[in-house]
Chain A
Amino acid sequence: MKTIIKITILLIMIFAETYAQSMTSDEIIRKVNDLMNQKSVYAKVRMTIVTTSGKKRVFEYESWSKNAGEKNLIRYTLPARIRGQAILMLNNADDIWAYFPRTGRVRKLASHAKRQKMQGSDFSYEDMGSGNAFIDEFNSRKLNDEKIEGTDCYKVELLRKEKSTSQYSRVVCYVSKENFLPIVIDYYGDKNPDLWVKRMVQKDIRIIDEIPTAMKIVMYNKKDNTKTVIEMISVKYNLEISDKMFSERSLSK
């Protein structure tokens, strides 16, 4: 009996390994997408911009996300000069509103605003999560597996679709075989499609509410020779977040 169980487990493992190896790029990216776009997420985040000369700027914000990243709200809490500013992104960031507490104005922004830097950081609003952007805006292609940052990874190339509004011509993801978290993402611009302009590295992976979560994300900007570090102060998944949270009324709260 024990032998049968052992053989069964071995077969399952072999099958799982074979299945994992035979996964297509689309399947991998869909897994990445599902992992990065949980049902609902609350996070309190510290973002530090570091320039070439070592100058630093520290921001803190809270973010709420629902419907697998389809609805997003970001509200800055620090520093004082931008405290209360908020960004609401609906329909996978196709609809964006910005709230400026100093003028009390809510401004509807077009989707091209996603290309703008988030408070001068190396993250654009597009990088911060445009819902299903990896699936909707790019075609995927599987490259040879690689080990990066000490992790065995699938290497998947994403090529911008013709009608995409993404600022990146190409994105290369190094996806952990263990948990499908993208350990490294390289972003390529239009000028030189062979040299990445930005590299995002996810570090300090912890399991929170059974979900692998990077507690530290570093975005390196080769063009400007700067980097931005995002540290998770607090993360909670699968909370009950009311739809009212993602409204203009809530934006100006």
Chain B
Amino acid sequence: MRLKNTLLIIFALTSALSAQVDITGYYEPQLLGVKIENQFYQLFSNKLRIDLEMNSSENITFKANFDYITYHGYTSWDIKKFLPDNILNEVPDFVVQGVPVNPYQWEFKDRQFLDNAFVKVRFSKFDLTAGKQQISLGTGYVWNPTDVFNRKDVMDPTYEQPGHNALRIDLPLSDKSQIMGLYAPTDKWDSPDLIVKVKSRAGHFDVSLLAIQKQWKFTDARILDFINNKFYQLPVRRRITGFDFAGEIFGLGVWGEFAENHLQIKNSVWLDYEQQLAFSSENNQFEPMAINKQYFEWVFGLDYTFRSQTYIMAEFYQNNSAETDYHNYRFNNWMQYMMAETKTITRNQCYMMIQHPVNDFMTASVSGLYSFSDNSYAVFPTLAYNIFENMDLTLIGNLYFGKKGTAYSENMGSGFLARARVYF
């Protein structure tokens, strides 16, 4: 019924506006295969994305994206299968009316949603964008410490990010500098998400200074709200001051980001959390989450294109709040990582990539992740092929080699991702 209604809305909208609206988009079937503990699992998905764009005048643009995604095959993933044995000891057992239940399931449910819908108005002195829009911050390729709205997939860092409800203003100060301000409402009027970014050009470098306030949440997955089937989430005010840059030194492309994080937790909120924890851990004696209230993250990257067209890249990322010894990774660290509340579980890591065009339509690359903190690593061989004019094929392998319990351990499950994308 929801699908029918949605299709009706799309049909009505597109019919009414087709004379003025550009309708583009893509259809994307995808197969994800993963081998975990000698079992092979497959998840199929179909994604239809419809992009609408209308320029009602030279200065006003409306854009929207509608996504419809279906999942098939192995759609309910047991998170515990990805976790090492020592961590599983921390996972509480839940029993409802005498029946054991496993809330640690990653469910892939069919979804249809308005990903972006915004209007951009270009005034003579500034641009104003209002509505659900992509917010992309930072210069990092894989990791963006200053981007508190998104977390990239290390297998495919350039995949599009979801839209966020916000009001954004871009104000050019000169031909080399500009200010961006962003206001994103939250559930409380007095604690919105805010960004102020000043960007300027110095020589061959782009340099930005940022100040960010974001309402954050840390999940304690040991506390379950049975009624809403949700884990407890500790609300935190996160403030970031930082900078980013991108430019060139001695012919090498260089970029970097730095973010100083300050977390504020209200006493009443913490007391409530401790009470919830005490109630939930009657038989388990849980310790409260260890939350680092002040920490920094930084990224530094280099790239180069050889005359042979071979392209190489390396990016280092340090998350000062993450652990250096994998024996100290806790259950909640893993859950927060999986729920994109932290960008990594390990403190020091790097990403490397080598890419070469096989021919005009095909590019082969190998990328890899290595954790300096726990010596685990993963390799992602990738083939991207523009098989027809408006059709791309992408094959990505994922091979994890780390010891059990490490960030990129064999527990993550090696496998592949095969994706076709047909544009219209």
A residues with CB within 8 A of B: 49, 51, 55-58, 79-81, 83, 94-95, 100, 102-105, 107-113, 115-117, 120-122, 165, 167, 189-190, 224, 226, 243-244, 247-249, 253
Contacts and interface: CB of A to CB of B under 8 A. Distances in A.
B389 interface: yes
B255 interface: yes
B378 to A, nearest CB: 23
A216 B135 CA distance: 40
Given A95-B204, A109-B253, A226-B360, A116 B309 contact: yes
B158 interface: yes
Contacts of B360: 49, 51, 57, 117, 120-122, 224, 226
Contacts of B306: 115
B359 to A, nearest CB: 7
B204 A81 contact: no
Given A110-B252, A117-B357, A120-B360, A103 B134 contact: yes
Contacts of B359: 51, 224, 226
Given A55-B361, A100-B158, A103-B161, A249 B246 contact: no
A248 B311 contact: no
Given A103-B158, A120-B361, A226-B360, A80 B247 contact: no
Tell which of B204, B254, B303 has the most Cβ of chain A within 10 Å.
Answer: B204
Contacts of B251: 110-112, 165
A57 B304 contact: no
Interface residues of B, number: 46
A116 B24 contact: no
Interface string B167-181: 000101001001000
14 contacts: A57-B360, A79-B390, A80-B26, A95-B204, A103-B134, A110-B247, A111-B248, A113-B305, A120-B357, A120-B360, A120-B386, A121-B360, A190-B307, A249-B127
Contact of A103 (B160, B206, B389): B160
B89 to A, nearest CB: 40
A104 B136 contact: yes
Contacts of A189: 307
B392 interface: yes
Given A105-B136, A120-B360, 16 more contacts: A49-B360, A51-B359, A51-B360, A57-B389, A102-B160, A103-B159, A107-B246, A110-B303, A112-B253, A112-B305, A113-B253, A113-B305, A116-B311, A117-B357, A247-B175, A249-B178
A107 B255 CA distance: 10
Interface string B202-225: 001010000000000000000000
Contact of A249 (B26, B139, B170): B170
B104 interface: no
Interface string B373-412: 0000000000000100110100000000000000000000
A79 B305 contact: no
A249 B175 CA distance: 10
B248 A110 contact: yes
A137 to B, nearest CB: 13
B307 A80 contact: no
Interface in B87-115: none
B424 interface: yes
B423 interface: yes
